Structure 1
């Protein structure tokens, strides 16, 4: 498999760039064999993944090495695609949006530099995984909790920078970042917020600095490489409670989402709430053939069988409560009074108090069990997510769910939906499961994804996070004033990164358009 070089780089210049990288990080940390490059191809790619193949990989071990790599990349005009650990599964994993980029693999930068127990924060490098930090806190018996996403295999910083979420009071991961160290496209080094002061005592205590706050510029962007960040952690609460809610009918979405969203707005429920369909539950516990092995989309009768056998509802939600014992007990009673009369049964809460086993608590515990869903169809499975942001309005969401479910069925894909309820919004995670070795299914998936983007945009709903194959498509829907936001992003990109070195095309920024 011959490497495809970046379109603007000659073979001679590329060879000199690799030599420059090797002089910085050592030969063992610059990878360019066919086998090396294949290991970085998206394991969930639609097709063979070669449309997003890289030309080489360089793996620095320090911020200073990143700075030096950036200077060499500029000298030879070699574009870099930074990844923290490369586990952004469902969004392209480690693969670059633009074929031929050199992957800047930061997974070796995996130090937990500081954990401040009293002030409940830490400072970590991008290679630190959710498992790493969880293990560190447990082994040191530090009474601080962290939030984890559905797939905890990846990087804490990488997940936060792509606005990933978890399901505790600290589950809006980007909001927990406080102070970043960033290498700019020219190799310069900045610290954001209070870290702009040498020897700052308040870097991880206050998110802003003096003058403009630049932190958000480095989220979902290609304007710098984050080599370290502060992260707020949750002080261990006195008590938690958790309960599973099962809503038996499809139409229950309207009243249930309105109730849950109101509780979220009022901070009775302090975390992002996942409100999911039967296939969402079944796909991590079983395979499709156990329920239905016929053509087309899975029928409602199969979903009803899942409901009966798994003891779930048409919609399902897990609710957790955190805080002082008296507060949690009062919140339990609020949940009971609101939901038990409508559901016609007593809710079973699992309570945890300090000293109980961690598995009983509602804390974030790293897991990869959600990845089991990719085996739904068998073969080499994968998933693709389209998750537009919507108002937290039950009727609007129910109407939208009916329409999207009908289109899944029309194209012949199984309807997998969850609605993640945030403080003022809902993300409709329209997950698309597939067998990447089935060409007809791959074609259906592409058609379905493109339709979902268009349909959501027609109702004023925009995606919050993009897959590498569809970044320009999603960016195109943000079209106010003839795409003024994209023009602004491109202007800033051209100013900071005139050679378009860092991740060209990420989220539609700096795309090499014809």
Structure 2
């Protein structure tokens, strides 16, 4: 305990007292304050290993225990940092923003309640994508998940941080329907129809009566979500689609301008993602197989990698789900649209209910292989993501790519980028791959990231989520009307959390006395 990090204005004696109070409230088996415990909850992809250090962790497994933990935290003014499973790799993982916080690990809360008739599920935060998938398979339920590239994580936690998947239900936050939340002061509330006693419609209608609070608990520190309702996609009769490769960087413009209208028309109901060659190659090879030269890869090396794996400069997977007759008609539209812009390759795919299924994100199967990209540079690999929201315009996407690619070259980093479609926007996800055992490389990550934020800000583009290191930076970039939104967030924070103990600083939302906006 002697080396434990401490919150501001805290003493080791006070931390020891709080630990004993947690043990009394939860039982010693759910309280973790040894050195190994603290290391376990650090950010495995941290840019600076000395930042975001937890003082310890607790693991309540019931709503009552969450309430009891919050009571102790309020008594000692000790900050808590709730996590669902702590697998938000590239954004901070299980680590707290404020060093000295105690991690509230909810991974032991794993209850699943499934309504087979309507395809709704009520989950606790410890339920991972593999857990829910196994539940559906074991009970032979005719529904598909939407999974992110790292399916180790929590279904609840992913939706609360606006994570995405690859099916028509891929914008996970949009499929939230009703929450149970423990407020920082210990009160338990249910949102939407859950506020009505014994309502059978809690997971059917997301709004209820009065203000809709579900989204207020997304990417915020206003409460601890202990249950979340979600909608799942009925198993389709058929799946049709194609994997398409394009040869030149400039083809991005035509891809966006062709796919965008189909997405807005809902001919494409999924959320396609255009990815560059490295997104595919980094899960199949490592950099040292191709070169030992420092700096960004030269074009001839890129060409060699692409040739071996049959990759375009950009690739996209497009899928149609539902009734087979409808899919056949939509496929003709999709096929013509892609052929009209001269792809390098079109690889069709089909599936009908009852046939063997590919195990991929396109079929809602949990996956983790995309995390292999952390090994690209070797050593202790990792990455962080820079992900601004941009207009769904080919010209805007190409210009954003060209600016960003030039910065990657300037800082000597290999470019992994993608453009994921919503209905009206693009999320430009750029992965900064690195080797933590390379001090020269790690020294470039922070100035590189800050430069990308500044470049995007100059275009009016803001990030939709970010790593712990940059939550204040990104929050401050939302500066309209003197940062009015940040001030509103702080007012709500101080009203709901008067002692400022719950996840201080999360997404730039600080309580009074710890950087709260006046």
TM-score (norm 1): 0.98
Other-structure match for 2:9: 8
Give CA deviations for 1:137-173 in whole Å, capped at 9, x if unaligned: 0111100111000110000000000000001010011
Alignment of 1:109-508 (within 5 A): 109-112=109-112, 114-343=113-342, 347-359=346-358, 362-508=362-508
CA shift for structure 1 position 291: 2.4
Work out whether residues 388 and 461 of structure 2, in 8 Å CA contact, stay in contact via their aligned partners in 1.
Answer: yes
- 1:395 match: secondary structure: helix
- 1:98 match: secondary structure: coil
Work out whether residues 273 and 317 of structure 2, in 8 Å CA contact, stay in contact via their aligned partners in 1.
Answer: yes
In 2: Cα distance, 1:305 partner to 1:418 partner: 21
Other-structure match for 1:85: 85
Give CA deviations for 1:9-67 in whole Å, capped at 9, x if unaligned: 333332222122111221011000001110111111113x2311100100001011001
In 2: Cα distance, 1:360 partner to 1:27 partner: 41
Other-structure match for 1:513: 515
Work out whether residues 420 and 429 of structure 1, in 8 Å CA contact, stay in contact via their aligned partners in 2.
Answer: yes
Work out whether residues 352 and 360 of structure 1, in 8 Å CA contact, stay in contact via their aligned partners in 2.
Answer: no
Matched, 1:19 2:20: yes
Work out whether residues 246 and 344 of structure 2, in 8 Å CA contact, stay in contact via their aligned partners in 1.
Answer: no
In 2: Cα distance, 1:346 partner to 1:70 partner: 56
Work out whether residues 244 and 347 of structure 2, in 8 Å CA contact, stay in contact via their aligned partners in 1.
Answer: no
CA shift for structure 1 position 209: 0.9
Work out whether residues 476 and 483 of structure 1, in 8 Å CA contact, stay in contact via their aligned partners in 2.
Answer: yes
CA shift for structure 1 position 306: 2.0
Work out whether residues 8 and 77 of structure 1, in 8 Å CA contact, stay in contact via their aligned partners in 2.
Answer: no
Q: How many residues align?
A: 512
CA shift for structure 1 position 347: 3.2
Compare 444-453 and 184-193 and name the one that shifted more. 444-453
CA shift for structure 1 position 353: 0.8
Root mean square deviation of aligned Cα: 1.3
Give CA deviations for 1:414-433 in whole Å, capped at 9, x if unaligned: 11111111110001111100
CA shift for structure 1 position 505: 0.3
In 1: Cα distance, 2:287 partner to 2:241 partner: 29
- 1:347 match: secondary structure: strand
Work out whether residues 242 and 319 of structure 1, in 8 Å CA contact, stay in contact via their aligned partners in 2.
Answer: yes
Work out whether residues 4 and 100 of structure 2, in 8 Å CA contact, stay in contact via their aligned partners in 1.
Answer: yes
CA shift for structure 1 position 272: 1.3
In 1: Cα distance, 2:500 partner to 2:263 partner: 41
CA shift for structure 1 position 360: 6.6
- 1:462 match: secondary structure: coil
Give CA deviations for 1:270-311 in whole Å, capped at 9, x if unaligned: 111111111111111100112222121111222212221111
In 2: Cα distance, 1:183 partner to 1:8 partner: 26
In 1: Cα distance, 2:82 partner to 2:109 partner: 12
CA shift for structure 1 position 215: 1.1
- 2:318 match: secondary structure: strand
In 1: Cα distance, 2:161 partner to 2:343 partner: 40
Work out whether residues 222 and 493 of structure 2, in 8 Å CA contact, stay in contact via their aligned partners in 1.
Answer: yes
Call closer, same or farther: CA 1:437–1:360 in 2, change over 3 Å: closer
CA shift for structure 1 position 344: 6.1
